[in-house]
Amino acid sequence: MTDTEISAALAQIPTSHLSDNLDRMQGIAGLNRYHGSKKLIGRALTVKVRPGDNLWIYKALTLGKPGDVLVVDGHGETSNALIGELIMLYAIQRGFHGFVVDGAVRDSAAFLDAGFPCYAKTLNHKGPYKLGPGQINVAVNVCGQVVNSGDWVVGDEDGVVTFAPESANELIAKALATAEKERGIKQEISNGHVYQKWLFDTLEKNQLV
């Protein structure tokens, strides 16, 4: 599939189904969503910065292309916000699809008003320093998850999942199969019976019935 086709498919898949088919061991936990309900889908442009310093975020913004998601390794430090409204506005102008920040952001009302996808650890009104150093297009660590430039990034109300582009086709097929299986389970639940095959199969496997 092309990137456009992959993006369209991912728009219909919840992060939970992606996570389930990544052995429930991959994805980013510990970030909050600050933009409302718009889904985040794009390819990662990674940047690693010194804690509390966003100089290299400025540089990364000039290198991005439409559809990129800026993924920031801020070492989890939240004493200074790394991104705010001005950076958001410039990112929108450049065609970015969103931010994933292992650190703090500010100007949360602006993100909410714009509906521009932003995931971060927390909010902090205190702004960043601009001294460097930093690195761009390197493997980064976001809340314990390694993310590489070019990885797919998908975020919704449950959080953020990332995965390598070469696994996209297989992962999407598996996630769609999961959705179909769950539709069957939902239909079974609606019959109102105590006995549910999906439930009792698990209980029997663990010798609980």
Retrieve residue 11's tokens: 């728009």
**Quick one: tokens of 155?**
């975020």
Three-state secondary structure call for residue 167: helix
Is the predicted pLDDT of residue 197 greater than 90, yes or no? no
CATH number at residue 58: 3.50.30.40
How many other C-beta atoms can be found within 10 angstroms of the C-beta atom of residue 136? 17
What range defines the domain where residue 140 resides? 3-170
153 in a structural domain: yes
Task: Report residue 157's pLDDT band, with 50, 70 and 90 as the boundaries.
Answer: very high
In a domain, 96, yes or no: yes
66, pLDDT greater than 90 = yes
Task: Please tell me whether the overall predicted TM-score, pTM, comes out greater than 0.75 for this model.
Answer: yes
Q: Is residue 8 in some structural domain?
A: yes
Residue 209 pLDDT? 78
pLDDT grade, residue 74 (50/70/90)?
A: very high
Whether residue 206 is contained in a domain is answered as no
139 is a domain residue: yes
> What stretches of the chain show up as alpha helix (H) in DSSP?
3-10, 15-20, 55-63, 85-94, 108-114, 168-189, 197-205
Asked whether residue 188 is assigned to any structural domain, the reply reads no
Residue 101 inside a domain? The answer is yes
CA nearest neighbour of 156 among 17, 6, 3: 17
Number of domains the chain is built from: 1
Domain annotation covers residue 203: no
